Amino acid sequence: MGTLMLLRHGETTFNAASVFTGLLDAPLAPSGEAQVAVAASLIAAEGLVPDVVWQSTMRRATHTTELLLGESSQQVEVRSTWRLVERGYGCLTGLSKAAARHRYGDEDFFTWRRTVGGRPPSASPEQVAGWIDPAPVMERGTLDAGVGESLADVAIRVLPFWQEAIEPPLAGGATIFVVAHGNTLRALASVVFGLPDQQVEHLNIPAGHPLLVPVTAGRLGIPRYLDPDAAGVAAARVAAEGGT
């Protein structure tokens, strides 16, 4: 048996303010660090020790990994890939969700934010000039911080990662942690589980809640949160403010 554990990074300063982060490299908020501490205790109670941790190159993910492994006495291999960085939000980047709804209207907000094919328009040069601390170019691969991505675009970039780096060792019985972002994990779930578009639209992955997927003979089992009640409450809160 193999084990896949998916974890969205802890809450960031932008998440706490309900601001679209995208490829801005926001740090964890104190609340996010506390979330990761709880996640680490749940993982330890489950007896999970990863063979490898794959993480996004963005600092909110790398800091989450550092905190997650900080108490471990075992050496764990950590690998990073730009394919797991957050979705490029284009013109939505840096806007609060309330401001985005007001500026673009509910229909575009939902289409760009939640549908599989909805792609936010590119940010203007003036918007880009006002951003603070976008992720360095070398850490976001081929992505342009000002260009919007659809969730389908994100699925295209995470698919090779899944096929080459994750699927083979899982089939061999490895335990693999993936520490990434709400939308890269949504995209990964859509690829891995073959979710229909409507289900993906309503999928919300809360920050800091470990999601465990058992793997038997190369087949994925039913995913479960290590604390399903708390994760359900957190996911509902995310949905109420406009989604992951």
- Domain of residue 101, CATH code: 3.40.50.1240
Residue 229, pLDDT > 70, answer yes
Mean pLDDT of 234-244: 83
User: Domain span at residue 211?
Assistant: 2-240
Q: What is the pLDDT of residue 75?
A: 83
Q: How many angstroms separate the CA atoms of 225 and 174, rounded? A: 19
158, amino acid identity: V
Of the chain, the percentage scoring pLDDT greater than 90 comes to 83
What are 223's two structure tokens?
A: 């995913």
Predicted model pTM: 0.94
- Which one from 86, 139, 149, 167 is the annotated catalytic residue? 86
- Which one from 9, 63, 181, 209 is the annotated catalytic residue? 9
Instruction: Write the pLDDT tens digit of every residue in 34-66.
Output: 999 999 999 999 999 999 999 999 999 999 999
Is residue 9 part of the annotated active site? The answer reads yes
Mean pLDDT of 13-26: 92
Instruction: Write the pLDDT tens digit of every residue in 145-195.
Output: 899 999 999 999 999 999 999 999 999 999 999 999 999 999 999 999 999
Is residue 102 part of the annotated active site? The answer reads no
Q: Based on the structure, what is the number of domains in the chain?
A: 1
DSSP label at 162?
I
Angle at 233 between CA 230 and CA 235, to 5 degrees: 105
Residue 133, pLDDT > 90, answer no
Residue 73, pLDDT > 60, answer no
71 — pLDDT class (breaks 50, 70, 90): low
Q: How many angstroms separate the CA atoms of 240 and 39, rounded? A: 23
* Cβ-contact 3, 223 below 8 angstroms: no
Q: Are strands 219-220 and 77-81 parallel, antiparallel or unpaired?
A: unpaired
What are 227's two structure tokens?
A: 């604390």
Residue 213, pLDDT > 70, answer yes
Sign of CA dihedral 52, 213, 41, 10: positive
Q: How many angstroms separate the CA atoms of 239 and 244, rounded? A: 7
